[in-house]
Amino acid sequence: MDFLINESQLRIILQEQDQSKMSDYMKELYSFTSNLVNKAKKTYGLNLKLLLTWGSSVGGLVMPLNNFIRTGRFELTDDQATLILIGVACTYFYDNVKTLKTILTKIKEEGLEDTFKEVLIKSRNLRDSFFNFMKSANVTLGSTLELVTYSFLIPIITDIQSAITEGSDIQTTAMTIAKRLVASGVVLTGQIALTETIKKIIKKFQ
C-alpha cells in the first residue's frame, strides 16, 4: 500500500529532521569539549572539568578554531593543538587567573606563543562577528560571558535559516528549535529565553 503525503506535511518532516540534526550538533559540541578536557588532563595534568559547565558553548567557539588550526599552515602535534585550544577556551570561560597563567606558561615552554596569539586573534574575530550578528538581530546580551554562552548557536545559524519554511509561524518554529536544543541536555540557556533569541534570528532572515 502506498502512503501519500502532501507538500505541507513533507516540509514538516524535513524541518523536524533539520531540528534533530541541530540537537545532534549540540551533543557533538559537548563531546568535543569533553575530549579536549580529557586530553588536557592526561597530557598536561590540567583539571579543567569546570569547562564542561559550558560544554556545548565552549565547543561552539573552539571547534571552528580547531578546523582553522588543522587546515591551516600550522605544524602542531595533537597535544600542542589541544594546549592552544584549551588556552583560548579558558580565556573566555574559565574565571581562574592561576589556571590560565599555568596554561600560558606551558604554551611558552612549548614555544607556541606566536601561534597562540594568532589563534586567539582568530577567536576574537569570530566572537566579534557573532556579537555583531546577534546585535543586528536585536538580541541584547549583557556581558561577554553571556555572549559566549550562546556560542553553541554559531555552527547552526545556517541550519536555523534552512528550517524556516514559507508561511511557517515564527513563534512555533522558534519554540520547536529551542525545545530540541534544550532537550539535548547540554545547553545551559533556558527554553523561554532561547525561543526569544531564535525568534529574533529568524526575523532577521525574513
- pLDDT one-digit tens code per residue, 109-157: 999 999 999 999 999 998 889 888 888 888 877 666 677 788 888 888 8
Condensed to tens digits (0 to 9), the pLDDT of residues 152-179 reads 888 888 878 777 766 667 888 888 888 8
Task: Please state, in angstroms and rounded to a whole number, the distance separating the CA atoms of residues 133 and 205.
Answer: 11
Residue in the structure block whose three cell numbers are 594568532: 118
pLDDT for the residue numbered 119: 94
pLDDT for the residue numbered 4: 46
Angstrom distances, CA of residue 184 to CA of 37, 178, 181, 191: 20, 10, 5, 12
Angstrom distances, CA of residue 49 to CA of 13, 63, 82: 38, 17, 15
- Tell how far CA 18 is from the center of its chain: 17
Residue in the structure block whose three cell numbers are 545547553: 187
Look at the alpha carbons of 141, 146, 147, 153 in this order and tell me if their dihedral is positive or negative: negative
Angstrom distances, CA of residue 177 to CA of 56, 90, 124, 182: 16, 29, 27, 9
- Predicted TM-score of the model (pTM): 0.81
